[in-house]
């Protein structure tokens, strides 16, 4: 009888753990009522964490039709508020007349103003006419108005702004295997001097993001991995990182901190909120659950990010990815 009770207890415990894991796994993607991608996570003075995301549109047509940006926020990493749309292509005076191509954004706060950065082409030949637009607001989630675009930036994508402890803002963007960066002037809309290529980044693809930890600068990004390489690694883009003593490098590549998701792409941000570090990224799990799986119907996710004692980043454990890479 005792053995039966022990066995039953172990079975009950196992079922409890199973359901707990299943429940935790369902938390990602954390936005489920629409498709979202390219999460830029920021913590503002009101104590909330905000995520600025691009928007995949169904039925999917690659990433050409991405035409809107949305903002979500939370106070506890559990309950999320949808602040709605903050910008679309038709509101960009210098933008491509056909619209679309509103790709990965970023947002920073300086001197009482929120600066929202977004890539968008200015001409029909979209891949040759990229500009990094700038919209500003006094609110983190509404009333953004396009002020122009970053002067001195190149025809690249994925803008990211890092503001160091001394208040100096650094501008990063990239794509096609190159990442370039430089200082921003105080007006936050002009490059101060010339952009420099970031050296030491192994297999850089796109999606640069810089954060600071224990006095070191960390540049994270997505690599070029493709499952068709048949190198024994299932899935496509992985997330890598490099470390430097300066926000301008040179950088020392440290390896992979996130394996492929079930989306062809990945794009991430890293942020500290209420004493804990988090990695934001996207996958295509929601489209899988909705019965319309597609690489270009993505959804934003988050998981804990932890460091080893030597400052290296532990491999992030993705939750909610029930199907694994394709």
CA distance 53 to 51: 6
Q: Which residues contact 90 (CB under 8 A, 6 or more apart)?
A: 99
pLDDT of amino acid 325: 60
Q: What is the pTM of this model?
A: 0.91
pLDDT in tens, 258-279: 999 999 999 999 999 999 999 9
Region label for 112, one of left (φ > 0), alpha (ψ between -120 and 50) or beta (otherwise): left
Active site residue 38: yes
* % of the chain surpassing 70 pLDDT: 90
> Which of 145 and 289 is assigned the larger pLDDT?
145
| Distances 194 to 30, 125, 161, 180, 217 between C-alpha atoms, Å | 39, 25, 16, 10, 21
Give me the catalytic one of 38, 236, 285, 303: 38
Give me the catalytic one of 56, 158, 206, 236: 206
Angle ∠(50,55,57) on CA atoms, nearest 5 = 155
Q: What is the mean pLDDT of the chain?
A: 91
pLDDT of amino acid 287: 93
Whether the CB-CB separation of 194 and 184 falls below 8 Å is answered with no
Q: Is 227 helix (H, G, I), strand (E, B) or coil?
A: helix
Picking from 16-20, 26-30, 144-148, 255-259, which range would have the lowest pLDDT averaged per residue?
16-20
| b (16+ CB within 10 A) / e for 202-223 | eebbbbbbbbeeeeebbbbbbb
Say yes or no to pLDDT of 211 above 70.
yes
pLDDT of amino acid 5: 37
CA distance 140 to 133: 17
CA distance 38 to 31: 13
CA distance 116 to 103: 13
Say yes or no to pLDDT of 20 above 70.
no
CA distance 185 to 123: 26
CATH class, domain 2-304, is: mainly beta
pLDDT in tens, 67-126: 999 999 999 999 999 999 999 999 999 999 999 999 999 999 999 999 999 999 999 999
Which tokens go with 194?
A: 């010339």
pLDDT of amino acid 27: 86
**For range 247-258, the mean pLDDT:** 98
Q: Using 50, 70 and 90 to split pLDDT, how confident is the model at 3? A: very low
Whether the CB-CB separation of 135 and 145 falls below 8 Å is answered with yes
| Distances 51 to 34, 110, 166, 244, 310 between C-alpha atoms, Å | 14, 17, 24, 26, 29
Tokens 């988050």: give the residue: 302
Domain ranges of the chain: 2-304
Q: Using 50, 70 and 90 to split pLDDT, how confident is the model at 2? A: very low
Active site residue 166: no
């Amino acid at each position: 009888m005792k053995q039966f009770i022990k066995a039953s207890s172990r079975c009950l415990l196992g079922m409890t753990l199973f359901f707990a894991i299943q429940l935790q796994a369902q938390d990602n993607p954390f936005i489920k009522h629409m498709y979202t991608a390219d999460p830029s996570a920021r913590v503002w003075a009101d104590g909330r964490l905000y995520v600025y995301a691009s928007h995949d549109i169904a039925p999917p047509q690659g990433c050409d039709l991405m035409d809107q940006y949305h903002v979500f926020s939370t106070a506890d990493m559990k309950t999320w508020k949808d602040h709605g749309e903050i910008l679309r292509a038709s509101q960009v005076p210098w933008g491509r007349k056909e619209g679309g191509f509103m790709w990965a954004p970023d947002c920073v706060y300086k001197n009482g103003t929120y600066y929202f950065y977004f890539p968008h082409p200015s001409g029909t030949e979209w891949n040759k006419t990229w500009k990094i637009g700038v919209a500003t607001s006094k609110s983190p989630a509404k009333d953004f108005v396009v002020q122009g675009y970053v002067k001195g930036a190149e025809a690249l994508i994925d803008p990211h702004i890092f503001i160091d402890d001394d208040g100096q803002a650094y501008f990063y963007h990239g794509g096609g295997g190159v990442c370039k960066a430089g200082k921003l002037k105080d007006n936050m809309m002009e490059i101060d001097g010339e952009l420099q290529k970031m050296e030491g980044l192994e297999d850089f693809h796109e999606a640069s993001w810089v954060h600071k930890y224990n006095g070191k600068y960390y540049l994270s990004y997505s690599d070029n991995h493709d499952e068709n390489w048949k190198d024994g690694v299932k899935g496509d883009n992985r997330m890598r990182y490099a470390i430097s003593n300066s926000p301008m490098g040179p950088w020392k590549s440290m390896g992979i901190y996130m394996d492929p998701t079930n989306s062809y792409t990945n794009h991430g941000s890293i942020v500290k909120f209420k004493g804990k570090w988090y990695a934001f990224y996207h996958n295509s799990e929601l489209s899988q659950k909705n019965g319309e799986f597609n690489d270009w119907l993505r959804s934003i996710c988050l998981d804990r990010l932890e460091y080893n004692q030597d400052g290296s980043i532990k491999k992030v454990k993705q939750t909610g990815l029930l199907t694994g890479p394709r």
